[in-house]
């Protein structure tokens, strides 16, 4: 009789297992019940992503990036740590909360979440979430048509810039070190030093 060897569990494709995906309406309902007990989630491709406690470098990076962009676009046009409806109406399975983004109108003009056409620059400050931010979120923002997406790599001390959005992702991906500067597409004459976005290095303290 032939011996049947069971496939080890670790080789099974997790992607093949059935899973529950969520909508924005369901997320709001869950939040209203208090079931999250103070934990905060964002909705990405139907999955609930835990917004983990922010490290000090992340907090400092977000504040410095917001200030640097305010110097270019104006304080009233820069929002931080707020949601954007990246796919309003037809796809209720996404509601990311961007670390920093630049709007086309003053933020006080919006009575509901901004939509993709309202966003000039989207930015995430990335520590442990770097892979997620430069892949899953980059595809999401590209599909939404956001013209420019920045990922502030806190550990690598660099800025990743994504441009030319399309259905499968961004066509252009650039990397700037902390010793370089970048010009936003909407402000081509304004140089933003990458060092002005990053927390001070340990050697500078």
> 54-204 domain in CATH 3.40.718.10?
no
Max distance between CA atoms of the chain, in angstroms, equals: 77
Query: What's the average model confidence in pLDDT over 53-77?
Result: 91
Residue 26: predicted pLDDT:
63
Q: Domain coordinates of the chain in residue numbers? A: 54-204
CA nearest 171: which of 157, 182, 161?
Answer: 161
CA nearest 194: which of 102, 55, 69?
Answer: 69
Is 45:93 a contact under the CB 8 Å cutoff?
Answer: yes
Res. 73: pLDDT tops 80 = yes
DSSP 4: P
Share of the chain above pLDDT 70, in %: 67
Share of the chain above pLDDT 90, in %: 50
CA nearest 156: which of 173, 132, 182, 177?
Answer: 177
Res. 82: pLDDT tops 80 = yes
Which residue has better confidence, 10 or 171?
171
Pull the structure tokens for residue 32.
């209203």
* Cβ neighbours around 167 below 10 Å, total: 8
pLDDT digits (tens, 9 = 90+) for 102-150: 999 999 999 988 988 999 999 999 988 899 899 988 998 998 999 999 9
Q: Where does 74-189 have alpha helices with state H? A: 130-134, 136-144
Res. 4: pLDDT tops 70 = no
Strand partners, 102: 78, 121
Residue 91: predicted pLDDT:
54
Is 82:97 a contact under the CB 8 Å cutoff?
Answer: yes
Average pLDDT, the chain: 81
Q: How far apart are CA 184 and CA 61, in angstroms?
A: 18
What is the distance, to the nearest Å, from the Cα of residue 183 to the centroid of all Cα atoms in its chain?
A: 20
């Amino acid at each position: 009789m032939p011996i049947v060897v069971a496939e080890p569990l670790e080789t099974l494709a997790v992607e093949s297992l059935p899973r529950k995906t969520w909508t924005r309406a369901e997320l709001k309902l869950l939040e209203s019940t208090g079931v999250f007990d103070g934990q905060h989630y964002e909705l990405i491709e139907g999955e609930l992503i835990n917004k983990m406690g922010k490290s000090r470098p992340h907090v400092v990076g977000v504040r410095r990036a917001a200030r640097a962009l305010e110097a270019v676009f104006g304080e009233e046009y820069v929002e931080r740590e707020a949601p954007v409806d990246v796919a309003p109406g037809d796809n209720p399975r996404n509601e990311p909360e961007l670390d920093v983004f630049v709007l086309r109108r003053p933020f006080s003009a919006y009575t509901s979440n901004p939509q993709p056409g309202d966003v000039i620059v989207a930015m995430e400050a990335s520590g442990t979430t770097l892979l997620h931010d430069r892949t899953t979120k980059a595809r999401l923002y590209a599909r939404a048509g956001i013209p420019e997406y920045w990922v502030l790599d806190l550990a690598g001390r660099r800025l990743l810039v994504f441009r030319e959005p399309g259905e499968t992702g961004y066509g252009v991906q650039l990397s700037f070190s902390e010793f370089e500067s970048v010009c936003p597409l909407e402000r081509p004459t304004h140089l933003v030093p990458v060092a002005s976005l990053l927390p001070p290095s340990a050697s500078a303290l």
